[in-house]
A and B are shown apart, each in its own frame.
Chain A
Amino acid sequence: MNRVLESLLRILALTRKELLAVLKDRRSRLSLLIPPVVQALIFGYAATYDLNHVTYAALDRDHTAASRQLLAGLDGSGVFERVADVQRASDIKSLIDARRVLLVVQIDPEFERHLLSGGSADVQVIADGRNSNTAGTALGYITGIVQQFNAVWSGDHGAPLQPPVQIVTRAWYNPNLETRWFMIPGMIGTLTLIQTMMLTAMSVAREREQGTFDQLLVTPFRPFEIMAGKALPSMVVGTIQAGGVLLVAQLWFRIPFIGSYATLFAGLLLFLLAAVGIGLLISAVAATMQQAMLYSMLLIMPFSLLSGLTTPISSMPTTVQYMTMINPLRYAIDITRRVYLEGTSLDLLIPDLWPLALIAALTLTAASWMFSHRMQ
């Protein structure tokens, strides 16, 4: 019992020393706290698939009340801005090529006559597919506006029948389907991963390069205690960073938090443990700071891009999907999103929690084995 207590005290002393080393200097204190918050603010605005400003050109070859009504529906939507009225189809190419417009809406002659005679008419929309996702979203908006036009038109002109089947859509957890609600909670894990992992990987590598690691070894610390003393400070920093991003999401972007803070931070702590474990493993493998940095980068890039933050994991090929299973960020993002938006309880999160625990256990065991092995 006494030995456990002593060990615990030693770990705490080491943790305190490490935290002091990181936080005593004002610049390094700021460099750990400011970037996640600033990034959350800027990327929170930038990282959205929703469009609120789409430039388009109209090629109205009908020039009737009906065609004008349809275009007015676009102009009045608040999303579409008409930057040009073209007269000939040959003008379309230069507008789209130069990226002046994302879409060209073309209304053929006889548009109104077809509608009045009870038939149907087509609007042609040409979209710049250089970013096909943006183009697809804009096309979806246009379809919605055209549907509204159809409803109004049938109402005004006593249309014979409604379409036989209507789809009534409801979106759970994000009623207005705003991507921001999806992105920003996902950033809680992403923005903390980079510095937590690097901080851990570097701190041991630096001690080793400067020779202070050998000094640590001659103290009564056991390898396990040194590791815990290195892991805890990084986790504290990571938790604070995650808290900062969470505050930005709630106070600045006003995204309603449905879940429980205890569940969220329980999941995040497990994630941070896994991230720190990977960091420690890197520092056990790397001989120099440069190598530690290189390995961290090599892992952080795929971790953050293949995490489901910006592109869904279910759209990846099966082999890549299997590869993402060793990515702790993948689970963290799922946890933060679900707790944040859906209020998911801990028991439903078990499929995310046990892989994190497994990653943490494996990396920490491997790292401690390598540390103690090097010492003998």
Chain B
Amino acid sequence: MTPSRKFRRIRALVWKETRQIVRDPSSIAIGAVLPLILILLFGYGLSLDVKNVPVAVVIEYPAADALELAGGFQLSPYFKPVMLRSMPPAQQLLLEHRVDGIVRIPADFPRRVAAGNADVQLIVHGGDANRARIIEGYVQGVVAVWSARLAAQGQPAALPAVGVQARLWFNEADDSRYFLVPGLIVLVMTLIGGLLTAMVMAREWERGTLESLFVTPVRSDEILLGKTIPYFALSLFGFVLCVLSAKFLFQVPLRGSMWVLLGASMLYVLIALGIGLLISSWVRNQLVASQLTMLITFMPAFMLSGFLFDLRSMPIAVRLITYVLPARYYVALLQSVFLAGDVWSVILPNTLVLALVAAALALGSRAVMHKTLA
């Protein structure tokens, strides 16, 4: 039992597995083509930025003031206004969801502007509450610009006592793609890593080819390594494709160092592969294994990782679940490394957790393999 023999056995297994991958287009499809398609599709497709909002602007009496305010909506890049003269057709448009909101400038608007207490009514389609709030902010912006012009013309207009001056660090242009693309990399790697091993191992169990490996002198940890190494390389290849498209296609800045990014991602790929291994040696059935991978890795990574939704606002019971998810730590890492730089107070604790999970998974899969060998 010299180390060199062990090494040769592992090398033989890796070689066998690699040739199998090269011959089977489905593994290549999962490992290299799928990440590229997904990152392209979602990188372009997902955005929370609101622009060209269709709104109905109802001018009940076409006085100069009202028309000027309505003109502000036409000039704004955020709105695509439809000008109307009365409420019923506007309400019909909102009912059919052809507009997202109605801005009503009432008939008494000019008179009340002169008196200094005019109202503009805004009805938003509240279905998508997030979007509704953004639209409300934009309407406020248009009205504020108009008020400022009024004040400049010498009309009596009080400025608000306290104004808010906001600065968005790490994402000055407020581009939602900046945080969505790093999160997408997490999603893609979670799915790819898990699927690759889950399906491959389950297939070997189903076909009984794993049992025939057991009668050879190879030991269970060698089988594990022999399986993991080629798929690890394949997933890393997919990862590099993702990072390249993030940086060059979507222009997301990479402010941290490449090495931190690569190190953390290697750990995470190991974890994703490990979860796939565990699932497949547990259920040993391709159908169930792939459904489980989807249900316990992809969906939680989508919903519970902080990629999209703020973790601090979730109720405590749900938050406790998120602590178990490796994706949570990887999302924090990627968002920081991409947008903020090498922030060690974020990198160190999160990498530590990922390393611990990876180690636990390695031991766990070894134990599962051992048990089945006995």
Closest residue of chain B to A81 (Cβ to Cβ) is B312
- Residues of chain B touching chain A, judged by Cβ–Cβ distance below 8 Å, are 26, 29-30, 34, 37-38, 41-42, 44-53, 69, 94-97, 113, 116-134, 136-137, 139-140, 143, 146-147, 150-151, 155-172, 174-176, 178-180, 191, 195, 199, 203, 286-288, 290-291, 294-295, 298-299, 302-304, 306, 308-310, 312-315, 317-318, 321-322, 332, 335-336, 339-340, 343, 345-346
Closest residue of chain A to B295 (Cβ to Cβ) is A35
Q: Which of A39, A53, A316 contacts B47 (CB 8 A)?
A: A316
Determine the distance from Cα of A43 to Cα of B38 in the docked complex, in whole angstroms.
23
Q: A125 with B171: in contact, given A35-B295, A174-B129 (CB under 8 Å)?
A: no
Determine the distance from Cα of A206 to Cα of B179 in the docked complex, in whole angstroms.
41
Tell whether A320 is near chain B: CB-to-CB under 8 Å: yes
Q: Apart from A150-B162, A162-B117, what 18 extra A-B contacts exist at CB < 8 Å? A: A39-B295, A43-B299, A53-B312, A54-B313, A127-B169, A129-B168, A129-B339, A130-B171, A131-B306, A146-B163, A149-B161, A163-B147, A168-B122, A297-B191, A302-B42, A312-B131, A323-B45, A338-B97
Within 8 A of B (CB), among A246-277: none
Q: Which residues of B contact A348 (CB under 8 A)?
A: 95-96
Interface contact B164-A46, CB-CB below 8 Å: no
Q: Which of A94, A166, A310 contacts B120 (CB 8 A)?
A: A166
Interface contact A315-B129, CB-CB below 8 Å: no
Interface contact A172-B94, CB-CB below 8 Å: yes
Interface contact B162-A173, CB-CB below 8 Å: no
Q: A137 with B165: in contact, given A130-B339, A294-B26 (CB under 8 Å)?
A: no
Within 8 A of B (CB), among A133-164: 133-137, 139-140, 142-143, 146-147, 149-150, 153-154, 159-164
Closest residue of chain B to A120 (Cβ to Cβ) is B159
Q: A122 with B164: in contact, given A98-B346, A305-B45, A306-B41 (CB under 8 Å)?
A: yes
Interface contact B124-A171, CB-CB below 8 Å: yes
Tell whether A212 is near chain B: CB-to-CB under 8 Å: no
Q: A177 with B129: in contact, given A126-B167, A127-B166 (CB under 8 Å)?
A: yes
Interface contact B162-A123, CB-CB below 8 Å: yes
Determine the distance from Cα of A115 to Cα of B203 in the docked complex, in whole angstroms.
73
One digit per residue, 1 when the CB lies within 8 angstroms of any chain B CB and 0 when it does not, for chain A 295-334 equals 0011011100110001110111101100110000000000
Q: Which residues of B contact A310 (CB under 8 A)?
A: 46, 308
Interface contact B127-A137, CB-CB below 8 Å: no
Closest residue of chain A to B142 (Cβ to Cβ) is A167
Interface contact B118-A165, CB-CB below 8 Å: yes
Q: Which residues of A contact B113 (CB under 8 A)?
A: 164-165
Determine the distance from Cα of A54 to Cα of B312 in the docked complex, in whole angstroms.
7
Q: Which residues of A contact B180 (CB under 8 A)?
A: 311
Determine the distance from Cα of A114 to Cα of B221 in the docked complex, in whole angstroms.
72
Q: Which residues of B contact A317 (CB under 8 A)?
A: 44-45
Q: Which residues of B contact A50 (CB under 8 A)?
A: 129, 313
Within 8 A of B (CB), among A80-132: 94, 96-99, 102, 115, 120-132
Q: Which residues of A contact B175 (CB under 8 A)?
A: 132
Tell whether A371 is near chain B: CB-to-CB under 8 Å: no
Tell whether A216 is near chain B: CB-to-CB under 8 Å: no
Binds B, one of A7-15, A194-202, A227-235: A194-202
Sorting the interface of chain A by its residue count into under 10, 10 to 19, 20 to 34 or 35 or more gives 35 or more
Interface contact A39-B299, CB-CB below 8 Å: yes
Q: A98 with B345: in contact, given A182-B129, A290-B203, A338-B97 (CB under 8 Å)?
A: yes
Interface contact A173-B125, CB-CB below 8 Å: yes
Interface contact A170-B42, CB-CB below 8 Å: no
Q: Which residues of A contact B295 (CB under 8 A)?
A: 35, 39, 194
Nearest CB on A from B247, distance (A): 17
Q: 6 A-B pairs, CB-CB below 8 angstroms? A: A31-B291, A49-B310, A130-B170, A164-B158, A175-B126, A297-B191
Nearest CB on A from B276, distance (A): 13
Nearest CB on A from B209, distance (A): 14
Interface contact B158-A161, CB-CB below 8 Å: yes
Tell whether A47 is near chain B: CB-to-CB under 8 Å: yes
Determine the distance from Cα of A206 to Cα of B203 in the docked complex, in whole angstroms.
14
Q: Which of A98, A125, A168, A182 contacts B165 (CB 8 A)?
A: A125
Determine the distance from Cα of A45 to Cα of B322 in the docked complex, in whole angstroms.
12
Q: Which residues of B contact A164 (CB under 8 A)?
A: 113, 116-118, 147, 150-151, 155-158
Q: Which residues of B contact A165 (CB under 8 A)?
A: 69, 113, 118-120, 143, 146-147
Q: Which residues of A contact B195 (CB under 8 A)?
A: 297
Closest residue of chain A to B343 (Cβ to Cβ) is A97
Determine the distance from Cα of A186 to Cα of B178 in the docked complex, in whole angstroms.
25
Nearest CB on B from A136, distance (A): 7
Interface contact B38-A315, CB-CB below 8 Å: no
Closest residue of chain A to B161 (Cβ to Cβ) is A150
